[in-house]
Amino acid sequence: MKRTIFVVAVIVLAGLLSGTFEAIHPFGVPSDTAMDDYILQHAPRDRSAQNVVTSMVFDFRGFDTLGEAAVLFTALCSIGALFRDGGKQE
């Protein structure tokens, strides 16, 4: 009974995995979506940046970058609190 369940689970997982690989966008092939076209056309004019990547990171995704910095700062403070030498010494 356990062997049958294992074989069925492996077949189902293999099917899901192969379906997932079929649905993945191929690497290196540019996608043609409305959002890509909008950013490429409006980033230099709206953000006054010649580099589209720079405008994406610092302008369009500024809050995301700020959130990542806050998470890193919180982790650093937590590690510092764990390893500090606290308490009274005699």
- pLDDT tens digits for range 75-84: 999 999 998 8
**With the CA atoms of 14, 18, 20 and 25 taken in that order, what torsion angle do they form, in degrees rounded to the nearest 10?**
160
Residue 89 lies in a domain: no
pTM of this structure:
0.39
Look at residue 88 and tell me if it is in a domain.
no
The count of domains in the chain is 1
Residue 62, domain extent? 2-26+33-82
Q: How many helices (H) and strands (E) does the chain have?
A: 4, 0
- Inside any domain, residue 87: no
More confident residue, 86 or 8: 8
- List pLDDT tens digits, range 60-79: 677 777 888 999 999 999 99
CB atoms within 10 A of CB 47: 17
